[in-house]
Chain A
Amino acid sequence: MSRFAPIQIPKIKSPSIRDGYRYGFSMPTDRYEFMSRPGLSKRVVEEISFYKHEPMWMREFRLSALGIFQAKPTPIWGGNLGTINYDAIHYYLRPTTGLKRRWEDVPVEIKRTFDRLGIPEAERKALSGVKAQYDSEVVYGSLRKLLQKQGIVFLSMDEGLREHPDLVRQHFGKLIPPADNKFSALNSAVWSGGSFVYVPKGVTVQLPLQAYFRINAPNAGQFERTLIIADEGSSVHYIEGCTAPAYSSESLHSAVVEIFVKKGARVQYTTVQNWYKTVYNLVTKRAWVEEEGEMVWTDFNMGSKLTMKYPSFFLAGKGARGETLSMAMAGAGQHQDTGSKAIHLAPHTTSTIVSKSVSRGGGRTSYRGLVSISPQARGSKSKVVCDALLLDPESRSDTYPTNRILCSDVSLAHEATVSKIGEEQLFYLMSRGLNEEAASKMIVSGFVEPLIKKLPLEYAIEMNRLIDLEMEGSVG
């Protein structure tokens, strides 16, 4: 009950929107050409590789990763991972349609799902390339000729493996080996879909490359795998947005993203994560940045039941820069365990990590970060700022920073604040006529505004809309 209402009139609760998928739809999913039986085994992994007509080395890679996955214990830090039932998950789904290039060829119900998400038709005209992942296979991708003319490769990972086998083999799994953690091992064993991007030397990709991923089958595990190689002096912005419809059973999303930023190149990788609130989102993202290169992670987490994700960068060349802008919002039943890792390996490297989190309705956010500066990284700078906003006393926020500094000639700054949504701020805005919900929304959107404005305009609008949606019914 609002503390601003002197008279307590019991409110009639409208049916909780949390009971169903927020956008209120999901499409029939019985039209799969192939659906692996639930559970994980050597046979399932072999089947996936067989259906994809993969080269032998990839089959071996998958099988060895499976062994690592099975041998590794479940992490006991971060969120509660004990409730994942690996045996109930379908590890591979192949919709009947296969890969389509032209929008006209995309089946009606899949199109309708995209339309309901408000995504493609308008945007695909304006934007350079849209790839959307419908379950495990890329079914729709529209690529502008411009990309190809400049020599830019923007394919699904499966296509990339077929068309650029050497480039893939040279980089795949090199930055995040299967043994890195239990979930990178799982992804390596059963990966499907994701993007493969190569930007040639000196080429700037003018418009952001976008990919939409979604899960649309019960117990559909989604294990996409993305590899981005930005050659010397090139520049690219890759955007990944997620949304998933409702299912009562829990889903697992475990992606691996590897990015190679060569000398003087720049890569920005933006994620808008809005998985449905039953999804486990366990993602490993890492970038290798060479001399004078720059990597920017813009990582926005709104959805999922539990997210554990710490986009990281290895600043491997002199003067390399890394930046993470992380925003997390946790409502009832959600835990966003996010942060970033900055590994300084070379002199005069710079890292900046800005994290903002909002917890409400008993939700939990954690900032987990690492700044590691090696002995040879003299003259390096690192700055970490994490701000948390708590909307009510039931919510929780924690900060777990780790600094490992093995060089004395460095500059290191760490700021952390936790603020409660101020009664005085609410009162001030309400005294100007805004109701409590509108006032809370205004305070929250002001809090995250410095990060939102780093997004391209249409994403900024989408983010603000998502935040508004999340805040609805938060008062009362």
Chain B
Amino acid sequence: MLVVKNLHVSVEGKPILKGVDLVVRPGEIHAIMGPNGSGKSTLAYTLMGHPAYDVEKKIITTNKPINTNKYQCKIMLDGKDLLHKTPDERARAGLFLAFQYPVSIEGISVQNFLRQATQTLGLQPKNGVLKFRQKLLHEVKRLGIPEELLRRSLNEGFSGGEKKRLEILQMAVLRPKYAVLDETDSGLDVDALKVVADGVNRMMAKNKTLGIILITHYQRLLRFIKPDVVHVMIDGRIVKSGGRELARELEREGYRKFLISH
């Protein structure tokens, strides 16, 4: 279970998240939707432990001396505290982030990078490199990634679509317990979107306990990946949670209703 409790986050002193609570159980898909600037990506980066995002560990919400509430903030994965862990420790605990803007690194080939990452995570199959490579090539094919991409420098000169597919490839290879997909749909055409969604659905089918947080601005991705829970995030808070019908409602009416009521 991935538990986020009373998460307050600021960036360069500016409060962005103002108390987020979220519980993702094994096998669940949660969609987090909201307008630009509502704090969706901040949530993704904070979960993964980006150092630029300051988590306020203790929040005093009232100044009445008698009723001083100390809200303890929490990020837990299967009972393990993540809040005080570095990004690599979080990854080793089973968390994965598919980046909205994956960075490029010159001179490091995709396949070497994947090999080192899987070794670090203790995921190399017992019967070795060959099997790993077979699996990798299989996954590459299904995601429609040109094989020569594996020999090129990580994300360097990749198209937007190639980068996004590569994120999903990494997710497939690194086999997390919980994955955060940060606007994976942005910049993808419908065909690419389908391929990426297929990839995610395949992983869900293979690993029934995989929990996913889908962060998206648009609801078109949700035509291909069916969420169990939809959350609406406005101004750093989750203002409404519901089933799939909430996404449809958002599509019809936009965020305005929530902005006003909020």
Contacts and interface: CB of A to CB of B under 8 A. Distances in A.
A473 interface: no
B113 interface: yes
Interface stretch (A70-78, A397-405, A426-434): A426-434
A443 interface: yes
Interface string B81-103: 00111111011100011010011
A422 interface: yes
B212 to A, nearest CB: 16
Contact of B88 (A422, A433, A443, A448): A433
Which range holds the interface residue count of chain A?
Answer: 20 to 34
A4 B51 contact: yes
B151 to A, nearest CB: 13
B48 A447 contact: no
A423 interface: yes
Given A4-B49, A450-B107, A428 B55 contact: no
Interface in B111-162: 113, 116-117, 120-121, 153-154
A450 B107 CA distance: 7
A447 B120 contact: no
A431 B97 contact: yes
B184 to A, nearest CB: 15
A326 to B, nearest CB: 17
B113 A442 contact: yes
Given A427-B51, A449-B107, A7 B84 contact: yes
Contacts of A449: 106-108
Contacts of B106: 446-447, 449
B216 interface: no
Contacts of B205: none
B52 interface: yes
A6 interface: yes
A423 B51 contact: yes
Nearest to B84: A7
B132 to A, nearest CB: 15
B105 A425 contact: yes
A423 B53 CA distance: 13
Contacts of A18: none
Contacts of B174: 432-433
A474 to B, nearest CB: 16
Nearest to A6: B84
A445 B113 CA distance: 12
B50 interface: yes
Interface string A406-440: 00000000000000001111011111111110110
Given A425-B105, A433-B120, A4 B87 contact: yes
A432 B91 contact: yes
Interface residues of B, number: 33
Given A433-B117, A436-B86, A436-B88, A448 B107 contact: yes
Interface in B21-68: 48-52, 55
Nearest to A424: B103
Nearest to B91: A433
Contact of A428 (B84, B99, B153): B99
B6 interface: no
Nearest to A444: B107
B49 A6 contact: yes
A349 B135 CA distance: 50
A434 B96 CA distance: 13
A7 B51 CA distance: 11
B53 to A, nearest CB: 10
B91 A447 contact: no
Contact of B103 (A422, A433, A436, A445): A422
Residue of A3, A430, A448 with most partner-chain B CB within 10 A: A430
Nearest to A426: B87
A435 to B, nearest CB: 5
Nearest to A7: B84
A446 B105 contact: yes
Contacts of A430: 49, 86-88, 91
Nearest to B123: A433
A7 B91 CA distance: 17
A12 interface: no
B85 to A, nearest CB: 8
Nearest to B89: A435
A5 B89 CA distance: 10
A427 B50 contact: yes
Contacts of B83: 6
B113 A3 contact: no
Nearest to B90: A431
Contacts of B51: 3-4, 6, 423, 427
A446 B108 contact: yes
Contacts of B84: 6-7
B121 A442 contact: no
A442 B55 contact: no
Given A427-B48, A432-B120, A447-B107, 8 more contacts: A4-B88, A430-B49, A430-B86, A431-B88, A433-B92, A434-B120, A442-B105, A442-B113
20 contacts: A4-B86, A4-B87, A6-B85, A7-B84, A424-B103, A428-B102, A428-B105, A430-B49, A431-B91, A431-B96, A432-B91, A432-B113, A432-B174, A433-B121, A434-B116, A443-B105, A445-B107, A446-B153, A447-B107, A449-B106
Interface of A: 2-7, 422-425, 427-436, 438-439, 442-443, 445-450
